[in-house]
Amino acid sequence: MTTLRKVTAMTALLAFNLSAMAQQQKPSAAKAAPEQREEVTQPQQQSPTLTQPAPAQQGAQNLALPMGTAVKMKLETILSTIANKAGDPFAGRVTEDVSMNGQVVIPVGSSIQGHVIRVNSTRRYKGLPALDLRPESVTTPDGQKYTLNAVVVDTDRDSKTKVNDEGTIQGEGMDRRDKIEVAGGAAGGAIMGGLMSGAKGSLVGAVVGGAAATVYWLSKHKSATLQPGTEIVMELSRPMTLNAAAD
């Protein structure tokens, strides 16, 4: 009987100790659970998305200069109605930037090439020496070459030339000195004729003298000459699309 009581007491003590240990472990588990839930529910940070840069603005190659745009250049070759003929090349250099929408399209220093298409070196009494130019291409300092359709609208006053409505460059015709020479020849012929044959001789002498003076004037070379460095202003005769010109 005594042995049975001891076994019962020991069993009860063991059960009590196990219960106490279980109570001590429950708070720890309760504390661990929230931390575990926090790790699970915490949203995962995403790496920032990089914004791609906006495409660059359209370059000069996508622009089109409107008809009438002025292009100023200085000649690098001499042009003359005496020395040149149709088909001769000429060259010039742009002296002012040509811009559109705030962007330089044809910069200073660009080279302009073209050909003479007509020359008129007249000696007629009322004629004017004249030549026509056809600008054909422009090459920028970085090597870009574009087709150019333009007409001459003005020249340097120092060149003693002018430009008509068709874009023809005209030189000087018969000036005041030439008229004085013709008149002087006629007057001199009249005086000589009068001394020789009276009034009738004066009339004949005037005609002969005037004719001689006119022949003399017609023998003189009246030319339209543009020296290197002459300033020329052109205007586009059609819109200039900046596509590279064919070589």
* Per-residue pLDDT at 221 exceeds 70: no
Instruction: Tell me the mean pLDDT in the region 9-23.
Output: 62
Say how far apart CA 121 and CA 132 lie, in whole Å. 12
Max avg pLDDT among 27-31, 58-62, 117-121, 232-236: 232-236
Structure tokens at 134: 């056809």
Arithmetic mean of pLDDT over the chain: 73
pLDDT, tens digit (0-9, with 9 covering 90-100), for 33-72:
444 444 445 555 554 444 444 433 344 456 789 999 999 9
Pick from 179, 155, 167, 172: nearest CA to 222: 172
27 or 56, greater pLDDT: 27
Confidence (pLDDT) at 222: 72
pLDDT, tens digit (0-9, with 9 covering 90-100), for 96-140:
999 998 899 999 999 999 999 999 876 555 678 999 999 999 999
Strand stretches in 29-180, DSSP E: 64-65, 70-75, 79-80, 89-94, 98-100, 103-106, 111-120, 130-139, 145-147, 150-155, 162-163, 169-170
Confidence (pLDDT) at 30: 45
pLDDT confidence bin for 152, thresholds 50/70/90: very high
Instruction: Find out whether 138 and 106 touch, Cβ atoms under 8 Å.
Output: yes
Instruction: Find out whether 120 and 112 touch, Cβ atoms under 8 Å.
Output: no
* Per-residue pLDDT at 163 exceeds 70: yes
Instruction: Find out whether 117 and 134 touch, Cβ atoms under 8 Å.
Output: yes
Instruction: Tell me the mean pLDDT in the region 163-192.
Output: 66
3-state class of 112 per DSSP? strand
* Per-residue pLDDT at 230 exceeds 70: yes
Instruction: Find out whether 203 and 45 touch, Cβ atoms under 8 Å.
Output: no
Confidence (pLDDT) at 6: 63
Indicate the residue type of 122.
T
Confidence (pLDDT) at 49: 46
Task: Give per-residue burial for 90-101: e unless 16+ CB within 10 Å, then b.
Answer: bebebeeebebe
Supply the pTM of this predicted model: 0.58
